[in-house]
Amino acid sequence: MRRVPFACDCDARLEVTQAADIVLSYVVDVVAEEGLSDTITMSGTFGGQPFSDSQRFPVATQDDPNRLVFSFSFDRALFGSDEYAEYEAALTSTLIDLDYQMVQSGTIVSQKVYFGTPGVRYSEVPKLSVDADGAMFSLGTQGDFFSNAAGGSFKSAGGFESAAGTFSTLTATGSGYELVDRNNTVYVFDADGYL
């Protein structure tokens, strides 16, 4: 999720969900006895699709554990309209010396991965529409009307009458308008009603 800044120092959230590739990444921290090196293999299936990769870690030192990163990429189209796929994965070692075998070698782990709905979604951006009767504050499908009860000149030093039950205040400023909602969130609009 990405936060998009506006001029008023408030944010609208922009969420982009891509449907191209799905990437499974595994991070393996190897703590080996000093002087040992080995080849570690990560293998398994994801939604019925096989994957496998091997990496060799160099000779270990006592103060220097090794980090291996395994990443596998799958085309989203492989999974059709499925909302998720399950993976099974196991790590194995090539060392056959019984004194130095990897602990839990071959243990299978399993988990579901949910894909989400592809597309772009954003949180609603507030808008203020002002005319001679008052101002309409809208946020998505919701809105509040602030009446201009003074009949053409805004009520008391640039203020508007709050919409019933909103507990919000709207005032005219030198360059636009300021709305403070019931949660004390401040929206600063320009003269055209944009943040």
Three-state SS string over 162-184 comes to CCCCCCCEEEECCCEEEEECCCC
Domain 19-117, classified CATH 3.30.70.360, yes or no: no
Residue 128 near residue 37, CB atoms below 8 Å: no
Burial of 181 (0-12, 13-18, 19+ CB in 10 A): middle
Q: Where are the domains of the chain?
A: 19-117, 124-190
For residues 121 and 89, the model is more confident at 89
pLDDT tens figures, 155-186: 444 568 876 777 888 888 888 889 888 888 88
- Choose among 90, 83, 124, 129: nearest CA to 107: 90
- Average of per-residue pLDDT across 65-94: 85
pLDDT (tens digit, 9 = 90+) per residue, 22-69? 888 888 877 777 777 788 888 999 999 999 999 987 766 656 667 888
pTM above 0.85, yes or no: no
Residue 13: the pLDDT is 53
